[in-house]
Amino acid sequence: MSAQMNDQSLSSNAWLKSYYYLRFAVSAAWVALAFTVAKDSPPLAAVMLVAYPLWDALANYLDARRSGGLGPNRSQLLNFVVSIVTAIAVAIALGHSMKAVLTVYGVWAVFSGVFQLLTAARRWKTNGAQWAMILSGAQSALAGLFFVKMAGGTEAIGIANVAPYAAFGAFYFLVSAVWLSVSDMLRKSPQAAR
């Protein structure tokens, strides 16, 4: 029975590692584009600002589907819904101002951070190595509050203001993926010695 549970845990960790590496790669590419090409191209920046929460919604859907679907994974269901609503709200806010966009991103960051934290806490028992995702969720919520405050200021806002948020997300996904990889190697090494 414990061997079967260990196999399930390894299989689940294999998916999470791939998922976290994918999330890192997409976020890192988004950040690189935001700091280079998109900062001087408002149409590209607009597309990227709408696409980022849509990607988050898709990623949450794919991840939840691997562990029973959105129904049993309420925090991911909520994250999925909030990210879809955010993409629509960003598209509307783009017609007003970048400060409105940053406000929408701020509210999204708070909610998605809390939902990410809850998902990671639920996974702690089955997968371990979720401390980075918990930290990421908490930091996302704090960044959201900072975004809302920044949007009320006088500073000019652009996609480069959002990019550090995505960069921190990329960093935490990479840390989580590497941590799970190392944990799996350590877990497999005693089995290989037998």
Planar angle of CA 128, 83, 119, nearest 5 degrees: 15
Kindly report the number of other CB atoms within 10 A of residue 151's CB atom: 20
Distance of CA 84 to the CA centre of its chain: 14
Query: What's the pLDDT tens digit per position in 49-92?
Result: 999 999 999 999 998 888 777 888 888 999 999 999 999 999 99
> In this predicted structure, what is the pLDDT of residue 2?
44
pTM assigned to the model: 0.85
Please give the average per-residue pLDDT across 97-115, as a whole number: 95
Distance of CA 127 to the CA centre of its chain: 18
Q: Which residue in this structure is represented by tokens 């704090």?
A: 142
In the predicted model, is pLDDT for residue 4 greater than 50? no
> In this predicted structure, what is the pLDDT of residue 48?
97
Please provide residue 97's backbone torsions phi and psi, each rounded to the nearest 5 degrees. -170, 165
Distance CA 153, CA 148 (A): 9
Query: What's the pLDDT tens digit per position in 25-55?
Result: 999 999 999 999 998 999 999 999 999 999 9
Please provide residue 102's backbone torsions phi and psi, each rounded to the nearest 5 degrees. -65, -35
